Amino acid sequence: MEKILIAIVDYGTGNVGSLGNMLHKIGQESELASTPDVLERADAILLPGVGAFDRGMGNLQASGLLETLTRRVRDEGVPVLGICLGMQLLARSSEEGTLPGLGWIDAVCRKFSFPPEDRQHKVPHMGWNAVIPRSGEALFAGMEPGALFYFVHSYHVVCADPGDVLGVSEYGETFTSAVRRDNVFGVQFHPEKSLRFGMRLLRNFCEGVGR
């Protein structure tokens, strides 16, 4: 792998330690970005996040990172991978909150909603589920069909443009579990908690950056 630097956006809303650990395991250098200078030096950016949409957006706005992050991703084409809430923040808005999202993907976030007589589908959607990637996507290279990833979320991204959907999963309905528009990627699951295939996905992302 070409020597590149991955910045993990540290805005008080994610389990940044686990991501750094897994990058370390695949021999990838990473730095926590709590100040803009790390984002300036980064070859690619991971945007993690857990919790509520408005808290995530609020923390991102308060972090002092948003301006640099936006310029690096939108003007300079630096690849970014949003994870879990980080993926949802890429959307325009969410039913969960009132703050606007980053709007880098033309999408909204909707809550899973099942009829009361449906005793099978609990919310949050929590546990290991399969992702069916669009064929030929480098982010999912080397994954067998039915590869399982760890999910924990109540809201999911709904894309306006089907061309942005990179992968889907089944939970009472077919929902979008991975997105991509140009250099902006997002996954609803936690690669850093998904063992072998999670590790492979992060490696694929990092390798894609070098190319």
Tell me the Ramachandran region of residue 127: left when phi exceeds 0, alpha when psi lies from -120 to 50, beta otherwise: left
Distance in Å, CB of 173 to another protein, minimum: 12
Which of 170/182 has CB closer to another protein? 170
Rounded to the nearest 10°, the torsion over CA 203, 132, 124, 83 is: 30
Which of 25/41 has CB closer to another protein? 25
H or E element: which one contains 68? helix 66-70
Which of 4/52 has CB closer to another protein? 52
Q: Which two tokens stand for residue 71?
A: 């310029």
In 3D space, the residue among 133, 140, 105, 110 whose CA is nearest the CA of residue 123 turns out to be 110
Distance in Å, CB of 38 to another protein, minimum: 19
* 40 in Cβ contact with 68 (< 8 Å): yes
Question: What is the binding site for another protein (CB under 8 A)?
Answer: 15, 17-18, 21-22, 25, 50-52, 55, 85, 119, 122-130, 144, 146-148, 150-154, 170-171, 190, 192-199
Which of 24/41 has CB closer to another protein? 24
Residues serving a catalytic function are 84, 190, 192
Which of 156/193 has CB closer to another protein? 193
In 3D space, the residue among 64, 78, 52 whose CA is nearest the CA of residue 10 turns out to be 64
**Beta carbons within 8 Å of 196's beta carbon, 6+ residues apart:** none
Distance in Å, CB of 140 to another protein, minimum: 13
Q: Alpha-carbon distance 208 to 211, whole Å?
A: 5
What single letter denotes the amino acid at residue 86?
G
Q: Which two tokens stand for residue 201?
A: 């996905």
Q: Which two tokens stand for residue 179?
A: 């997105």
Distance in Å, CB of 58 to another protein, minimum: 12
Distance in Å, CB of 125 to another protein, minimum: 7
